[in-house]
Amino acid sequence: MKLLKKIDKKDADAYFRIRTTLVAIYLLIGFIASFGVVFFAEELSGFSVNGFPFHYFMGAQGAVLIFILLLFINAITNDHIDKKFGLDQGKKK
């Protein structure tokens, strides 16, 4: 049987807002790293990173590393937010 406790909707919406804002920021960073760099590929080829012209570095390594990093940052920050809102999945309260 489910026991339910009512909580302030403002709290729940604050949770939703902070999650959505963070996700929007992560997606924007990912978009710039991929689509943004490709769109300006010629302009960004002037300098080198890790032995490649910058546009090639981003396509072959930079964008992928940023994607991986964003996913782990998301998982970690979300765990923190859950804790802050008193949610701790998988553990007894």
Sequence-separated (6 or more) residues with CB below 8 Å from residue 63: 30, 33, 34, 37
Q: Binding pattern to other proteins, positions 10-49, x when CB under 8 A?
A: -xx--xx------x--xx--x---xx--xx-xx--x--x-
Residue 47 DSSP one-character state:
S
Number of residues that bind other proteins (CB under 8 A): 55
55 contacts 37 by C-beta, under 8 angstroms: yes
- Token reading at 71: 């996913």
- Point out which residues bind other proteins (CB under 8 A): 1-9, 11-12, 15-16, 23, 26-27, 30, 34-35, 38-39, 41-42, 45, 48, 50-53, 55-57, 59-61, 63-65, 67-68, 70-72, 74-75, 78-79, 82, 85, 87, 89-93
